[in-house]
Amino acid sequence: MSGRAQLMWDEAVTGYDFGPDHPMDPVRLALTRSLVSAFGLDREMDVVSAKPAGESTLRLVHREDYVAAVKAASADPGGADGSYGLGTMDDPAFAGMHEASALIAGQSVGAAEAVWRGDALHAVNFSGGLHHAMPGGASGFCIYNDASLAIARLLELGAERVAYVDVDVHHGDGVQAAFWEDPRVLTISLHEHPRTLFPQTGWPEETGADSAQGSAVNVALPAGTGDAGWLRAFHSVVPEVLAEFRPQVLVTQHGADTHFEDPLAHLAVSLDAQRAVQVALHDLAHEHTEGRWIALGGGGYAVVDVVPRSWTHLVGIVAGREIAPETMIPEDWRQQVFARTRQLAPVRMTDGRWPVEWAGWEAGYDPADRLDQAVLAARKAVFPLRGLLP
């Protein structure tokens, strides 16, 4: 197995562009890629451009009629079929939409193939993580569900147990839906509570179909949850369930929209806590999957202050060259940011919260605490189904 990690990148992924007034500005991808380069991380990895996902690959998850609708909207955006979620405010149609979406999906599928075949131990596609797309429709800024497609490809290649961990602020509903009936796939999502945030799913009681009870795990966090609570919730659920499931490969989604600066959600997590979870997931991959790890991006709408730093930390961890939180950001990158966005870029790779402290579940819990209530709800719903004590 190659010791070098793979960075999946093709400049054309920045063509995934819903227009100038849409929150998902592709500048976040371009700025992340240039910050990765400014730190020299791309010299520590194999930078690979995989081919776009073709029709047969897309149909591992998506319905034939939906793929046809995306292609039609891509060729004629004005005629997008709203019954498939296309041409809406969240998912406006644009010329070349199918090609850009298939290219992003192809990078995640390529990452899965490289890791499963042993060409790379870890692979990262920060343009991916488009976890809301459903088998038959677009949703939540997501056209094709690259995370689901990567998992489906792993199963096609012979994987028997794939774990998916999603720490985006929004519930990973599309991935959960794709594998709702499949006990070979464990989906774990930590997200803001569906009472207060799109897509209004991800309740702890959602645990999988009768044929796959306990294969869906949902930790629904109260709005306002900060670093200590977020890390407590993660460590109180994820390691124990992964250990019981014994995955052969780990796929993770790292939406940066849990951050306190993100304009579309209500958690209060810092860059430093995001980095701590990235490190934890890397360590869990080495503990349970012999290091086989596919890391994806996701949401994140503070496109200058947060996303490039968060995902550059992720790339550094994937590459085996972690960036210390106190590291100064290269001045030439900061100048580039100002030239492109007229915004002042951050100065260091930290929010000043490192090291992040949190209390483990084994020390006991407070039944009156809203965060502990959320953790306990998830544990009570799923742990007994997996033979674990809640």
Catalytic center residues: 132
d(CA 315, CA 107): 15
Backbone Cα Rg of the chain: 19
Distance, CA of 243 to CA of 111 (rounded, Å): 24
Structure tokens at 275: 């980095």
Q: What gap in Å lies between CA 241 and CA 236, rounded to an integer? A: 9
Q: For residue 284, give the 3-state DSSP assignment.
A: helix
User: Residue 259 in 3-state DSSP?
Assistant: strand
The letter for the amino acid at 240 is E
- DSSP labels, 80-98: --GGGTTTSSSS---TTHH
- Cα 128–chain centre separation: 7
**19, exposed or middle or buried, with CB in 10 Å at 0-12, 13-18, 19+?**
exposed
Question: If you count them, how many residues does the chain have?
Answer: 390
Which phi and psi (to 5°) does residue 70 adopt? -65, -45
Distance CA(142)–CA(132), nearest Å, equals 6
Contact 138, 15 (CB under 8 A): no
Residues 6+ apart with CB under 8 A from 269: 225, 226, 227, 230, 258, 259, 260
Burial (CB count within 10 angstroms: exposed 0-12, middle 13-18, buried 19+), residue 76 = exposed
**Closest CA relative to residue 97, chosen from 34, 33, 144:** 144
Tokens of 98: 């199918």
Q: Which helix H or strand E contains 250, and what residues bound it?
A: strand 249-253
Residue whose tokens read 């210390």: 324
For residue 217, which phi and psi values (nearest 5 degrees)?
-125, 125
